[in-house]
Amino acid sequence: MSDAAVPRRFTLDSFVEATVERELREGLFELESERILDINLDGEVWIKTGAMIAYTGAVKFVREKLLDQGIGNLLKKAVTGDGARLTKATGQGSVFCADIGKKITILQLQGESIFVNGNDLLAFETSLQYDIKMMKKVGAMLAGGLFNVRLEGHGLVAVTSHYDPLTLPVVPGQPITTDPNATVMWSGTLSPSLKTDLQLKTFLGRGSGESVQMQFEGDGFVVVQPFEEVILQAGTAS
């Protein structure tokens, strides 16, 4: 086939034009696509360890030390593994982040607090206070290593989900129950409890797969995704 017969949309120039980085100038966080976050770095920001796919400029990456957030988080990090590990990006440039092709949502916290599933937290400003929280029941670990990160203050946060997330309002007297592996985020006003139905058939592979659920009661919201994401625990091979 001659070059003249090739439709322009198939040419290399057309591909580059369609996929080249866009200068949106929307602030610190902007979306290059639904699945690629562009951080216009001029200072420092926290990102999920392993989320950086490319960067430009003078940027240094320093992985968070186990004791950076105190003795309490040392044990939490040892149990949760890499899912809640953070890296601080410092300098000036553009840092591109992604997480296995998941959809990215950018949120601006204005004094509110939220809880994010540790596996769904992609990046956030250092102006936000954060703490790793774990569900107290041992049964939670059977849900794939259930833990979450509490964020509070003023700043941007990028959260990921498989496909489009769904937000469910939680009102007093009308509890909502979710699959932990499909739960992405919930408002800081809620403290979910765990419901367990651990029967022998569950361990024999004959259960419904929903042996552990999270129940939300009160006034707030919970966000779920149309995908059950199994989170690897520390010491589990990927």
**Token match 């989170």: residue?**
231
Tell me which amino acid residue 207 is: G
Spatial distance between the Cα atoms of 29 and 106, rounded to a whole number of angstroms:
7
Tell me: the pLDDT tens digits for 111-155? 999 999 989 999 999 999 999 887 655 444 544 446 789 999 999
| pLDDT at position 199 | 57
Q: Considering the domain boundaries, does residue 20 fall inside one? A: no
3-state secondary structure string, 227-238?
CCCCCCCCCCCC
With residue 135 as reference, give the H or E element that holds it. none
Strand 220-224 to strand 183-187: parallel, antiparallel, or no bridges (unpaired)?
antiparallel
pLDDT at res. 202? 52
Q: What pLDDT shows up at residue 190?
A: 95
**Which of 164, 95, 153 lies closest to 123 in space, CA to CA?**
95
Q: Identify residue 154 by its one-letter amino acid code.
A: H
- What's residue 143's pLDDT? 45
The greatest distance separating any two alpha carbons of the chain, rounded to the nearest whole angstrom, comes to 70
Is 135 inside any structural domain? yes
In a domain, residue 17? The reply is no
Is residue 94 a part of any domain in this protein?
yes
Nearest to 163 by CA among 224, 84, 96: 224
Token readout for 110 is 């204005």
Query: Total domain count for the chain?
Result: 1
Residues of the chain with pLDDT under 50: 66-67, 70-72, 74-83, 138-140, 142-145, 200-201, 204, 206-209, 232-238
Q: What is the pLDDT of residue 78?
A: 45
Question: Do 113 and 155 meet the contact criterion of CB atoms below 8 Å apart?
Answer: no
- What are the CA-CA distances from residue 31 to residues 18, 103, 106, 110 (Å)? 15, 10, 8, 20
Asked whether residue 52 is assigned to any structural domain, the reply reads: yes
Supply the pTM of this predicted model.
0.82
The angle formed by the CA atoms of residues 224, 116 and 160, to the nearest 5 degrees, is 65
- 11-37 burial, b at 16+ Cβ within 10 Å, e below that, comes to eeeeeeeeeeeeeeeeebbbbbeeebb
What is the reported pLDDT for 126?
97
Per-residue model confidence (pLDDT) at position 137: 57
Contact present, 123 and 97 (Cβ < 8 Å): yes
Q: Does residue 186 lie within any of the structural domains?
A: yes
- Evaluate whether residue 144 is within a structural domain: yes
Residue 117 structural domain: 25-224
* Torsion from C-alpha of 111, 117, 118, 119, nearest 10 degrees: -130
Tell me, what's the pLDDT at 230? 74
What CATH number corresponds to the domain at position 201? 3.60.160.10
Spatial CB neighbours of 99, under 8 Å, sequence gap ≥ 6: 48, 51, 122, 160
